[in-house]
Chains A and B, each alone.
Chain A
Amino acid sequence: MPDSDTVVEVHAPRPGVMVVAPKQDVDLSRSPELRNALRSAQDRSPGMLVVDLTDVGYMDSSGLATLVEAMRTAKSTGAPLVLAGMHAKVRAIFEIARLDQFFTIVDTVDDALAV
């Protein structure tokens, strides 16, 4: 289990793949940490970046903006960015913002690794 103060965990389950896993709700007070983690991960030029949202029960538009920024970077570098483990309440905001078609969204990190 992550430390209760941990905001974002980053690991590489296999060479060329990085997983960024926010461990708390992502709102205006937490999205800067997620942004920093995503930028650091993308700076390492992974072949694929997975954002594991399993522990995110809530996200607001600052979180969406952070992911859109990361997705734009991913598109410019050609390294896929995949969102995994998204809860229904988090998915709802993607649908409200009509961004659910902009991202590749899969059920689990394992599914992402199979993409």
Chain B
Amino acid sequence: MSETANTQPHLRLELISDPTYLCGARELVASVSRRLGFEDMDCSKIALAVDEALCNIIRHGYNRAMDKPIWISLWPIPGDEHSAGGIRIVIEDEASQVDPSKMKSRELDDIRPGGLGVHIIQEVMDEARYERRAPKGMRLTMVKHAPRPDSAPTLSDGSCSAQIHTGTPAARPGGRVR
């Protein structure tokens, strides 16, 4: 497991389960992905994966209740001689827990409305893992590797927007955007 999983997120967004705010979460994730070296289409797909994960929480986890908490945490994965780096995104909730092995896509040949979210997440991201979260809720960890070895992810040049807190944990004012 990468060290990023054990360190404070470089960015943490807390939102309520109101679909109105999906667009803000998408744009934030796409913007940061772009800064981490992903190409435009990949940024859009990463944002789509996050959107689908949030939609699943809102619709199924919270039964469309619009006042429940969701957290999105994000770490850059630095590149090294073996990999190009990338992005790790963790989405957590306090929704009803389900068996992670039951989180799967339906058969795509069965064309009908709905049931595509998990398939899209798995198709878009290089890794997607569901687990129960203590004391309640679920956690989805997603990883996407950057395509170019010469674009090692970094958020440390200070040119990101004010919403993105970088540097040591002590330097981050709360590390949360709401």
Contacts and interface: CB of A to CB of B under 8 A. Distances in A.
Given A28-B22, A97-B108, A97-B120, A65 B48 contact: no
Given A65-B113, A69-B113, A60 B119 contact: no
Interface string A58-81: 101110111011001000000000
Interface of B: 19-20, 22-23, 26, 41, 44-45, 47-48, 51-52, 55, 58-59, 108, 111-114, 116-117, 119-120, 123-124
B22 A97 contact: no
24 contacts: A27-B19, A27-B26, A27-B55, A28-B58, A29-B23, A58-B26, A58-B44, A61-B55, A64-B113, A65-B113, A68-B111, A68-B112, A68-B113, A69-B113, A72-B112, A89-B41, A89-B44, A93-B48, A96-B45, A96-B119, A96-B120, A96-B124, A97-B119, A98-B108
A88 B43 CA distance: 13
Interface in A16-52: 25, 27-29
Contact of A27 (B22, B45, B113, B114): B22
Main secondary structure of the interface of B (DSSP, over half): helix
A12 interface: no
Interface residues of A, number: 23
A60 B114 CA distance: 11
Nearest to B45: A92
B54 to A, nearest CB: 8
